Amino acid sequence: MTNKLSPELIRVCDANLNRLREGIRVIEDIQRYAKNSKETAAKLKKLRHKTKLPNYKEFLTYRDSINDVLKSSTTDEQAREDTENIIISNFKRAEESARVLEEIFKLSDTDTSELFKSIRYELYNIEKEILL
């Protein structure tokens, strides 16, 4: 799966896998605990579990969070207006990360690329269900 990817691209994938899971988890927990929406929380949990890849330790090998050149938060990232703003921000984070993974995996594994494309489109649908 990742044998055709450079260490730098595996690092990109690791960061985006984390970002994708974290974004989904924030929305999932708001739907579960704040909104008591069992159905939506269950959909998000199932979707989050789809992001698990078999070679997790390989991604860890190339992680370098200490030297991340943009790890400091921006002013926009430090403030949220309300719960809806948190949900929107985390949907965008997750959707963007799924797109990055979809594109990078086109270099090494089209099945995995298609998995992340399907995750991205499922996120679009759930976003519409929650926000409209």
Q: List the structure tokens of 65.
A: 């969070």
What pLDDT sits at residue 75? 65
Give the whole-number percent of the chain exceeding pLDDT 90. 77
Model pTM? 0.91
The answer, yes or no, to whether residue 74 has pLDDT greater than 70, is no
Domain boundaries, the chain: 7-65+79-131
Find the helix or strand (DSSP H, E) in which 9 lies. helix 7-29
Lowest pLDDT segment from 18-32, 58-72, 99-113: 58-72
Cβ-contact 2, 88 below 8 angstroms? no
The answer, yes or no, to whether residue 73 has pLDDT greater than 70, is no
Cβ-contact 59, 112 below 8 angstroms? no
Backbone dihedral angles phi then psi of residue 70, each to the nearest 5 degrees: -125, 35
The answer, yes or no, to whether residue 15 has pLDDT greater than 80, is yes
Cβ atoms within 10 Å of 5's Cβ, excluding its own: 19
pLDDT per residue as tens digits for the range 43-63: 999 999 999 998 888 999 988
98-108 mean pLDDT: 98
Distance (Å, whole) CA 132 – CA 103: 29
